A and B are shown apart, each in its own frame.
Chain A
Amino acid sequence: MSGTAQPERGDAVVWSVLSTLLAGPLVWGGAGWLVGQWLDARWMTPVGIVLGSALSLYIVYVRHGRNDPAENPGVRL
């Protein structure tokens, strides 16, 4: 959410969340894989990917999804 008078345009933002959605599973899936190699626990990779995806969705919600009219007046699209 940009703190300007110009309301954020929904259609433009849709294209910009792609990298966030990719980064979550990549980072925590990768971390899970590394730790899994170290501790010999293969299940860490899928757990990391799921955790990362959930975190990515959470970031998208925090940055773009909160729709509190009191905090954020103006037209939301």
Chain B
Amino acid sequence: MTALLASSGGDGFESPSVREFFPKAVLFDGTIFELNRVRIIALVMTVLLGGFFVLAFRRPKIVPTGLQNVGEVALDFVRFQIVDEVMGERGRRFIPYITALFWTILAFNVAGIIPFLQISPNSVVALPLIFALCTYVIFNYAGVKAQGAGPYLKSNLFPPGIPKPLYLLITPIEFVSTFLLRPFTLTVRLLANMMSGHLLLVLFFTGASYLLLEADTMLKPFGLLSAAMGFAFTLFEVLVAVLQAYIFALLTAVYLDGALSAEH
């Protein structure tokens, strides 16, 4: 295979790398407002999402029609499937945050498979990190406010019902798990899914284009296979986009629920 590729002439195949995620600046190069393709996509998706909700609820009616129907389904999904499911009645206050979180992350994820955008802003660490830090600050604040700082720490660091000496071993784990790893795992789960999805799609489609257009005749069938795989993974990415947004919102609800209730 390698020999065939080498003998096919041309410049050879260039596989996708981490450079994919850091394209050249388009505007304001060198300033803190530097705009590149990925940042612009984030802005475009934000405007589209905001625009959709503004249009849907511009003139809300008791009996919704048209776009308002879609908007209400969008809001109800988060409210009933995530917030009510995990937190029940007392989750009401957090519906706006969790709804905004879910739909923003989903919009950013889906950008990865929208033609001409084709990269998710969540595949660069900044955005997943910001979302995770927001959740981190909110669940800790809600916990301290609901229980008081002392009881909140106690319920997190000293799970009840275990022999006293074991706390020596358990408490460091609980501290690292709740206060250090939670934001980290939230960030990395979303980031890694979006990065790997993008790399896979780039690999299959650039591979298909190279094999079909530049490589030896013998290799052309592999080009078709590569294109087919690219198509299959595009469908798979739809699933990943929804699932990752759902998990992020769900975990936010779970963390908030845990912070509000004193473990007994």
Contact = CB atoms under 8 A, between A and B. Distances in A.
Contact of B182 (A9, A19, A56, A66): A19
A31 B181 CA distance: 17
Contacts of B255: 16
A55 B170 contact: yes
A24 interface: yes
A26 B176 CA distance: 9
Contact of A19 (B159, B170, B185, B253): B185
Determine the main DSSP class of B at the interface with A: helix
The DSSP consensus for interface residues of chain A is helix
Contact of A3 (B162, B172, B253, B264): B264
Interface string B212-229: 000000000000000000
A23 B255 CA distance: 16
B165 to A, nearest CB: 13
B254 interface: yes
A32 interface: no
B190 to A, nearest CB: 12
Given A27-B176, A28-B169, A59-B170, A18 B185 contact: yes
A55 B169 CA distance: 8
Interface string B124-164: 00000000000000000000000000000000000101100
B257 interface: yes
Nearest to B182: A19
B129 to A, nearest CB: 16
Contacts of B184: 19
A59 B88 contact: no
Interface of B: 85-90, 159, 161-162, 169-170, 172-174, 176-178, 180-182, 184-185, 247, 250-251, 253-255, 257-258, 261-264
8 contacts: A2-B263, A3-B264, A6-B88, A27-B176, A28-B169, A55-B169, A55-B170, A62-B162
